[in-house]
Amino acid sequence: MTFWILSRRFGRLRPIMLCEPLLQIDLPGVAKVKSGKVREIFDLGDALLLVATDRISAFDCIMPNGIPRKGEVLTQLSHFWFERSAGLIPNHLLAGPEAPLPAVLQPHAAALARRSMLVKKAKPLAIECVVRGYLAGSGWKEYRARQTVCGIALPAGLTESAELPEPIFTPATKAESGHDENISFDEAAGIVGPELAAQARAASLALYTNARDYARERGIIIADTKFEFGLFDGQLILIDEVLTPDSSRFWPADQYVAGRSQPSFDKQFVRDYLETLDWNKTSPAPALPPEVVAKTQEKYLEAYERLTGNTLSKSPPAKPEFLHRP
């Protein structure tokens, strides 16, 4: 199903087409090993295939309808950052975005176009590696209570969304369900070992600083972001997704004002809408109205275009019959 809605983009009101989102996918003959909030993971024997759907979650609940083309944005933006950061740390990519698929996946090429990554079978670290450059979210909440973020003491007098004196590494536990829990660096070291924790912290701060400076030149503030690392052949590598609207807070630099919450290019728009509803933030989640879907899609696409300088093809890939439709 396709429908049209009026949306304001780049300051101009215009009709945009919303195509049917991809919410689930099966690849007959290819083993699915995990289904996450957004990604489906398939085992190819000597490699993994990550497929980003158009699902969107908020408050740890998956919305019943998705954001068309969101999976494409996440995948292509991750490819961009993986390639850009390869000089800082190795990553799990086995093929670039334009590389042909292995023969076993060729029958599914239409389904996988622009939303799949062929990656190494790394062993993920059991921690999330979060870097914060600005005071927002759970960090702002903790700061107001104790003048700390994840136990790190910060100067007095900071306001909501204030830039921190320097970026800080604030790890978290990985939760299969429910919220990730913020932990101290010492607690992270107790989980993965002091040496790996130190490597992950150094890599996270270097990646964030490099991306922050690049994004600023393109009108986007990266307020905070989450990295994931794994071990492959005994080496720490960058895995999963990187610096996307799902894993980061992206703020428009020209609208930034410290002392309040910020407009964003990420799914905060969805969270803000859900906060207006009489909903207890447990499943089942309410469906998102077309105007919220359209605005969220617009924000994801604009973030991609600003950061990469490119546009995604306007014609979405065809959907074969074995795809699950919402």
pLDDT higher than threshold 90 for residue 267: no
Condensed to tens digits (0 to 9), the pLDDT of residues 154-196 reads 999 999 999 999 999 999 998 765 567 899 999 999 999 999 9
Q: Quick one: pLDDT at residue 323?
A: 37
Lookup: tokens for 234: 């005994």
Going by pLDDT thresholds of 50, 70 and 90, the confidence category of residue 268 is confident
pLDDT higher than threshold 60 for residue 315: no
SS3 per residue for the chain: CCEEEEEEECCEEEEEEECCCCCEECCCCCEEEEECCCEEEEECCCCEEEEECCCCEECCEECCCCCCCHHHHHHHHHHHHHHHCCCCCCECECCCCCCCCCHHHHHHHHHHCCCEEEECCCEECCEEEEEEEECCHHHHHHHHHHCEECCEECCCCCCCCCEEEEEEECCEECCCCCCCCECCHHHHHHHHCHHHHHHHHHHHHHHHHHHHHHHHCCCEEEEEEEEEEEEECCEEEEECCCCCCCCEEEEEHHHCCCCCCCCCCCCHHHHHHHHCCCCCCCCCCCCCCHHHHHHHHHHHHHHHHHHHCCCCCCCCCCCCCCEECC
**Torsion, CA 195, CA 201, CA 202, CA 204, rounded to 10:** 140
**Topology of the domain comprising 124-255:** D-amino Acid Aminotransferase; Chain A, domain 1 (3.30.470)
Q: What is the mean pLDDT of residues 77-95?
A: 98
Q: What's the pTM?
A: 0.89
Going by pLDDT thresholds of 50, 70 and 90, the confidence category of residue 116 is very high
Q: Quick one: pLDDT at residue 18?
A: 56
Q: Quick one: pLDDT at residue 266?
A: 85
Q: Give me the residue spans of the domains in the chain.
A: 124-255
Residue 76 and residue 68: Cα distance in Å, rounded? 14
**Torsion, CA 90, CA 92, CA 98, CA 102, rounded to 10:** 140
pLDDT higher than threshold 60 for residue 31: yes
Q: Quick one: pLDDT at residue 177?
A: 58
